[in-house]
Structure 1
Amino acid sequence: MYTGSPLAIETSLPLNQLPIHKLLSPLREAFHVNNQVILEAPTGAGKSTALPLAMLDWSEFKGKILMLEPRRVAARSVANYIASQRGSQIGGEVGFRVRGESRCGESTRLEIVTEGILTRMIQQDPELAGIDLIIFDEIHERHLTTDLGLALALEIQGSFREDLKILAMSATLSGLPLSTLMPDACSLQSEGRSFPVELGYRSLAESKGRTQGANPYQNRTQIWLEHMGKCIVDLLNGDDKHLASIDASIGSNIDISGSLLAFLPGQGEIMRLHDYLAKRLDLNIFSLCPLYGSLPAKAQDRAIAPATDGKRKVVLSTNVAESSLTIDGITMVVDSGYKRHASFNPKTGVTRLTLKRISQASAAQRAGRAGRLSAGYCLRLWSQEEQGRLLKADEPEILHSDLIPMSLDAACWGVKSLNELPLLTLASKANETVAWQLLALLDLVDEQRTLTKHGSQAYQLGCHPRLAHMLLKAKSLSQNEGNDQLVGLACLLAGILESRSLGRHGVDISNYLREAIQAESGKQVRTWMKKLKVNIDLSRLVSSIGSGDIALLLALAFPDRIAKSRGVSGYQLANGTGVTLPEHDPLARADWLVVADFQESEGRTSGRVYLAAEIDEDLFKKRLAFLVKSQDYCGWDDGKGRFFAENRQRIGQIVLSKAASSKPDPEQIKAAIFELIRSKGLELLNLNSKVLQLQNRVKLATELDTDAGWPDIGEQHLLASLEDWLGPYINDVRSLSQLRALDCYTLLQNLFEWDKLQRLDKLFPCHWSMATGTRAAITYDDAGRARLSVRLQEALGMAQSPILANGKLTVTMELLSPARRPLALTADLASFWQGPYVEVKKEMKGRYPKHLWPDDPANTLPTRFTKKKTLSRNDS
């Protein structure tokens, strides 16, 4: 077993034997004619190590080469390896820069950086003086900072630096719109170098007889982790049945004595599985090595480096080991199939963490980790059938992330919308709107989205805009009071909130102040203090801090998260969100809080508070009085059955006080009506069956008649646009009975041009003329089905069901008895006449002997009448 470099697969061979070597000459030629190159290089090609190593000797690069890596652990590992191959110390010719750590010098020519570092470099020096080439490695991972860094680099290249070269590298270009963003770029493709990996599947359902497809994380995390632990123990002890049954020609090449890499969603699952395995594996033989982003650098190095004690490593990792990084000795992978998915909720302003299935692309990357050194084995803890249902690739972060920091970057760059930048994917409109609103609330941008002086100063601090605002306001308050304690405290609070690893000391943020002085957090705290030109004894400061100051500072950063107790049901935030605290936590009895950190989870109606501080309500009359807004409010009184008006003092959606005011005017009543409908729903209006049918027909038209541009009259859109379609018709409404009397069907029809209504009636008619002269009603349901109800005798002779929407929609026929009771439901009349009709006829002929039940229904004339009347009409 190979026990050399952590990047063994790319570097254990001479450079001229790696696949990337074949592309070195074509790549140099490409850069002679084009400053943009797209390189697709699968696993093991050598793109992350051998390529930048070779480029250091290319004469055309006189200046510095920047290479971006998505993760800190990969950036450090790659830089250290290349430096060792050059025979130099890290920080000399080769260096790296990541958040909180820099090992670069004046002589550094190749600098490996994480993506956010590049954005800062560009903002500080838009010409990137002295830099010849930027390499974007693993661009397919689609991190938010990757997309932004590439966009800014392209902006620079198109304006200041036409000579700047950009190399975008990806393990796969599938689903990646690079060629659209860079249409003139040269495209090159390299072969990969990896060994075959045998795949095994062992889902929890298959092992335990549970329902396949159920998400075990919802309530059974421990059971699921025990299943994974058992699979790992079986594999390491040689008891994996699938591996034992592999064909000898393949199995003979798999090193079952190698190390194992397990992929889990997050740190919490890693530590629980670590405890499970520690009790069941012989630790004289196996070495358990956690690996996650917030782990100290030395512990990360231990997980990546060769085992020096003769033990077999069991590396328990998040997706930091998914790409760009080869962990020494790995021949087996066990994949949970889950990832921690962060999704920003624009309604609450918080990022929701959920556990989701990985994509097929991620599954392939993870499995490939077992084949970097030799033939390997990957055990997937889901079914092979479920594998086919996974998404092809992960969604880019720009669609579901918090865009507040990115929007501040955009303002610093001078654009007023993220989509003004050359982005691979357009940003989420809802998330971006919330981002600009908060930046304006914190006075970081003005109403025109132009960066303010305060915003420029905040950006220089290099932290989240909320925290930067707090730090600067603390500096201003300290100067006014002649005391630097508030600044030092603000730095400590920011350090706590930006820390990636905190102990468990309850919800009260003051319990973490001493922890913020230490390790990586302490280093960052002192960096901010230096930027803010403050020099105080932090240990002494911690001992003298008052809770009022903590609450004040947090309220500056999180004005939308001031929270008022709702009694037994938790708290309401100023932004309207409900949150809860653990019942036993001391802060759970406070009347008012400032919530600094809370998270929403699937299946929970309220967010869970992790960090907060108690706040005195008197602050809203003094130092935080600027947060209190006066509002003239109009609402509906259910008890008295009338609208009322009052003046409210409020912080966001929290009402501090209210007093009755004069009779509401018409505009106030209209606003009250809109609020009432949005809170109680469209049921307050007269949305009868005609309206429902119109909505279902238009929904179908939108799906099947895509070129016509149909108006949206779905419930969500109607609620969001009440002012537009309902507002003009309620000027004289003063009661709910008057509101219900409105003809909403006509109001919605008014949204359509005349020719659109004619087209709708033609494509999706409300009636169908039967051969008997009956105009049978067609109803449309929200599942997209059209149903025509008619007595069976009137459908005789029909060869097929009616077809609507220019042949795109077949009507489902509901055939009725003479008493108009349902007999059959079919969209295939021809098949019905030949088969099920025979049984219907047997049952119905005796019950309705006066009506026609022919033996050959497909060739019988339809009728509305009894047999006798039908025959007499035919005779006449």
Structure 2
Amino acid sequence: MNQVATQEFNQVPIQTLLPEIKQTLADNAQLILQAPTGAGKSTALPLAMLDWPEIQGKILMLEPRRIAARSVAHFIAARRGEGVGQSVGFRVRGESRVSDKTRLEVVTEGVLTRMIQQDPELSGYGLIIFDEIHERHLTTDLGLALALEVQASFREDLKILAMSATLDGLPLTALMPEAGSLVSEGRSFPVSLSYRPSTAHQDWLQHMARVIVEAVAEHREGSLLAFLPGQREITRLQTLLTERLDPKQFLITPLYGALPPAQQDSAIAPPPPGMRKLVLSTNVAESSLTIQDIRLVVDAGYKRQASFNPRTSVSRLSLKRISQSSAAQRSGRAGRLSEGHCIRLWPQQEHERLLKADEPEILHGDLTNAVLDAAFWGVNALDALPLISPPSEANETVAWELLQALALVDGGRRITAHGRAAYGLGCHPRLAHMLLAAKEMDSLGEAYYLPLAAVLAALLESRALARRGADISRYLNDARSGEVAKLALQYLTRMDAGRGNLIAKAISESRDQDIATLLALAFPDRIAKARGAKGYQLACGAGVALNDDDALQGEPWLVVADFQESAGQSSGRIRLATKLDAALFEGPLTSLVKSRVETGWDEEKARFYGLTQQRIGAIILNERPLDTLDEETIRQAIYRLIRNKGLSLLGFDDKVEQLRLRVALASKLALAGDWPDLSDQALLATLPVWLGPYLDGVRRLSQLKGLDFYTLLLNRMEWGLQQFLNEALPSHWPMKTGTRAAIRYEGCGRALLSVRLQEALGMAESPRLAQGQLVVTMELLSPAMRPLALTADLANFWAGPYVEVKKEMKGRYPKHLWPDDPANTLPTKLTKKKMSAKGL
């Protein structure tokens, strides 16, 4: 680091806050630090902490991105005049640079959660720092939750520091109410903004290339950082710019997570003398990274977000606008070292309509790894952990179901011995299950399946495969060297089978049926059967398709290891798969075949039917009709029919519907009693409970519809509760004239009593029901039973609106009573003539 850089580093704003941070950590077990861009929180702060005697033990710092973790570790180590792996080291997935001397470890990508799981006391560590917590990565949220559990259960002396560029929309204080709180100033130079949106019919990448060429021509000093949504766009833009810019003046470097570390380091490093650098990056460069000499930022304003689809158990990639918070972080990159300029490729008026901050990954991501972490920790629901935000309920349910299907947890969501072994492998639970199953298969013969499974797992975990179609067998040779080979060997080593020659042998001897067997164990829900000309149905029920020219096109069966869903497409696109011989269902895959009885109603033949089916999920292998239908089979057919058609099939009459409304109102008003839930949803979910006992002998729809549903539902309440319901919310109201006027209950909670106006004479107020909580709305009718008025305040009606009603009705119905003092007149059902004849 040169003298000028050293001076700037020593002047970062966090330096003035160091004494307060030290004191706050001495007084509190937790600290929340807000420190904007350029404050030095990721570098100067942990560097200073290494020399604080008040911190007992080593320091763990969590960075949400691998590239940032490596960069920060290298930067701090260089500042101390050391190499990485001495007092400062890092652990990221697939690479570790730590030693016995290491006192600051920068970790990422779930490394922290595994360290905690392996040693819940975190022996030897005194402080955990969570950097850039506002990015809301799932692994960060989970790591913080486990750290808080450790602090509360095992290590009261453990310190936790949560750092964020912004606290907007981040409920950290609610999660950590006793934490100290400090705010640092940022340090950034002014960044001017301009907006250059493309037109509606313009290729936005072509437009971005033109904007970049014009920008470097106008601003002749410094390098440029361009933000794009993904690798595909980066590669295309790199080609467009290479065609337009002099390679002797401009060095164009991509930057994204799947790049090898050496290329990532090259993108971050200063440009060669006399050249300007153009860094084309995904959002990995939003925070924690300082790329030398950047003075220009061109922001496409997009990100590619993976949203988990619980129906298919796959993440759907979609192009989305970034948030305002993300846009601010990106523009700030231009002002880290000097004044800069940012060009945004969207309309200025659209900026205020962007989301304020990014959604937490826990709301839309795949939670399979997270729930395995939870099970290993000993809880059976993510909300049992102190999380910043609650998870997606649907995504969590699917994740637990998958773990149970793979036998990693039992029916109570408790981790099994198989699950513990899978967790120890450090890969996706599907792949861990496949590796363990392969090892079990090898125990019965020559070692072959495990090294082949290790190759398949490494290929599926790799993010840098050169595309060669969907057939995964075409990629096996990638495991002979490089990243894939290294990862495959790691899996074998973790399973005490780490010999490289086994991998080469497995690749050479691999057979399609063995690949299919292993992948089917990992992805039983993605066994696929051909349907139509190009498509396939997955066992999970979803549809997928191959590219038109793919070599696997026409295969009757596949196992799909990877497919991609995109917004606006009805079928997912298969990325990796293998052909499957259906004979395997009678051999090594027989455990995946389930037998079940399918029941239903045949509309044409007007009768119930039953089938015995052999299935893999939604795929029917074969079926045959049942010779006879017993009572239970017919019951199941009736339940299925009602669930498909809805309760309308049963033809509930008005009496039944009124009973359901009365019971719902009693529950809503919290009247004393154990009120049953008679809603559509509840009744459909509990058909065997309330309907099942009355289905003996029912063989036809007419018999089903002829059941006394009023009595069936009424009997869900004990006799005393029925009586209380009739008292509190009666179906009729006795009028003084002897009429039992019906009360109609409505879904909005209103009780409506319709009666001739003359029968309501003398009533000072509307009746009150539900122990006085509910005032009945009176619908007063004409002698011809037509509505005249609607009121829940009879006293007010008699004193006011009645006068106008009397004027209009008296001439129309002269034979009926229209008194001047209705509140004090006796009610009647008679005409004036009949009243007179009776001496009334």
Same-fold call, TM > 0.5? yes
Work out whether 1:561 is the aligned partner of 2:526: yes
Q: Is the 8 A contact 2:58 2:126 kept in 1?
A: yes
1:279-428 counterparts in 2 under 5 A?
A: 279-428=243-392
Unaligned runs of 5+ in 2: 731-742, 759-788, 794-802, 821-840
Deviation, 1:377, is 2.1
Going from structure 1 to structure 2, the CA distance change for 1:568 and 1:325 (only over 3 Å counts) comes to: same
Other-structure match for 1:477: 441
Deviation, 1:756, is 9.2
Partners of 1:722 and 1:432 lie apart in 2 by 27
Corresponding letter in the other structure for 2:602 = D
Other-structure match for 2:151: 157
Partners of 2:522 and 2:807 lie apart in 1 by 75
SS in 1 for 2:170: coil
Partners of 1:605 and 1:423 lie apart in 2 by 35
Work out whether 1:506 is the aligned partner of 2:477: no
Other-structure match for 1:244: none
SS in 2 for 1:118: helix
Which range moved further: 439-448 or 94-103? 439-448
Which range moved further: 271-280 or 178-187? 271-280
Deviation, 1:20, is 0.6
Work out whether 1:269 is the aligned partner of 2:263: no
Match of 2:167 among 161, 173, 176: 173
Q: Is the 8 A contact 1:75 1:113 kept in 2?
A: yes
Which range moved further: 194-203 or 391-400? 194-203
Deviation, 1:279, is 2.1
Work out whether 1:653 is the aligned partner of 2:633: no
SS in 2 for 1:411: helix
Larger Rg: 2
Match of 2:108 among 111, 114, 125: 114
Deviation, 1:384, is 2.6
Partners of 1:67 and 1:480 lie apart in 2 by 45
Q: Is the 8 A contact 1:70 1:143 kept in 2?
A: yes
Going from structure 1 to structure 2, the CA distance change for 1:688 and 1:161 (only over 3 Å counts) comes to: same
Partners of 2:274 and 2:664 lie apart in 1 by 65
Work out whether 1:196 is the aligned partner of 2:190: yes
Work out whether 1:630 is the aligned partner of 2:610: no
Partners of 2:253 and 2:682 lie apart in 1 by 51
SS in 2 for 1:587: coil
Match of 2:574 among 598, 609, 618: 609
Partners of 2:387 and 2:40 lie apart in 1 by 27
Partners of 1:339 and 1:741 lie apart in 2 by 59
Which range moved further: 501-510 or 720-729? 720-729
Other-structure match for 2:538: 573
Corresponding letter in the other structure for 2:308 = F
Partners of 1:601 and 1:864 lie apart in 2 by 69
Partners of 1:419 and 1:403 lie apart in 2 by 13
Partners of 2:657 and 2:328 lie apart in 1 by 46
Deviation, 1:405, is 1.2
Deviation, 1:727, is 6.7
Match of 2:217 among 228, 232, 237: 237
Deviation, 1:556, is 1.0
Deviation, 1:289, is 1.4
Work out whether 1:530 is the aligned partner of 2:493: yes
Going from structure 1 to structure 2, the CA distance change for 1:338 and 1:769 (only over 3 Å counts) comes to: farther
1:856-875 counterparts in 2 under 5 A?
A: none
Show CA shifts across 1:270-313 (max 9, x none): 11222222223333332221111001111111211111142222
SS in 2 for 1:343: strand
1:55-74 counterparts in 2 under 5 A?
A: 55-74=49-68
Other-structure match for 1:854: none
Other-structure match for 1:592: 557
Q: Is the 8 A contact 1:492 1:517 kept in 2?
A: no
Deviation, 1:236, is 2.8
SS in 2 for 1:293: coil
Show CA shifts across 1:559-609 (max 9, x none): 111111123251111121221112321212111111111122211222221
Corresponding letter in the other structure for 1:302 = S
Partners of 1:335 and 1:699 lie apart in 2 by 55
SS in 2 for 1:586: coil
Other-structure match for 2:117: 123
Work out whether 1:82 is the aligned partner of 2:51: no
Partners of 1:501 and 1:451 lie apart in 2 by 33
Q: Is the 8 A contact 1:684 1:739 kept in 2?
A: no
Deviation, 1:627, is 1.4
Partners of 2:657 and 2:197 lie apart in 1 by 43
SS in 2 for 1:200: strand
Partners of 2:333 and 2:662 lie apart in 1 by 51
Match of 1:496 among 439, 459, 466: 459
Corresponding letter in the other structure for 2:316 = R
Other-structure match for 2:512: 547
Partners of 1:636 and 1:230 lie apart in 2 by 64
Work out whether 1:486 is the aligned partner of 2:449: yes
Partners of 2:664 and 2:332 lie apart in 1 by 44
Partners of 1:286 and 1:715 lie apart in 2 by 67
Deviation, 1:683, is 7.3
Partners of 2:333 and 2:190 lie apart in 1 by 11
RMSD between superposed Cα atoms in Å: 4.2
Other-structure match for 1:144: 138
Partners of 1:724 and 1:658 lie apart in 2 by 30
Deviation, 1:746, is 11
Partners of 1:396 and 1:612 lie apart in 2 by 31
Going from structure 1 to structure 2, the CA distance change for 1:256 and 1:514 (only over 3 Å counts) comes to: same
Q: Is the 8 A contact 2:490 2:498 kept in 1?
A: no
> TM-score, normalized by length of structure 1?
0.78
> TM-score, normalized by length of structure 2?
0.81
Partners of 1:285 and 1:745 lie apart in 2 by 85
Show CA shifts across 1:442-490 (max 9, x none): 1212222222222111111110111111111111111211x11111100
Going from structure 1 to structure 2, the CA distance change for 1:68 and 1:671 (only over 3 Å counts) comes to: same
Partners of 1:691 and 1:370 lie apart in 2 by 69
Partners of 2:683 and 2:355 lie apart in 1 by 32
Deviation, 1:232, is 2.5
SS in 2 for 1:58: coil
Going from structure 1 to structure 2, the CA distance change for 1:29 and 1:627 (only over 3 Å counts) comes to: same
Going from structure 1 to structure 2, the CA distance change for 1:28 and 1:771 (only over 3 Å counts) comes to: farther
1:7-22 counterparts in 2 under 5 A?
A: 13-22=7-16
Partners of 1:439 and 1:701 lie apart in 2 by 41
Going from structure 1 to structure 2, the CA distance change for 1:305 and 1:740 (only over 3 Å counts) comes to: farther
Partners of 2:791 and 2:351 lie apart in 1 by 39
Which range moved further: 736-745 or 393-402? 736-745
Q: Is the 8 A contact 2:658 2:745 kept in 1?
A: no
Deviation, 1:803, is 13
Partners of 2:17 and 2:755 lie apart in 1 by 71
Corresponding letter in the other structure for 1:380 = R
Other-structure match for 2:824: none
SS in 2 for 1:147: helix
SS in 2 for 1:514: helix
Partners of 2:336 and 2:324 lie apart in 1 by 19
Q: Identity, % of aligned pairs?
A: 57
Going from structure 1 to structure 2, the CA distance change for 1:721 and 1:401 (only over 3 Å counts) comes to: farther
Other-structure match for 1:445: 409
Show CA shifts across 1:26-76 (max 9, x none): 111112221111111111110000000111111123421111100010001
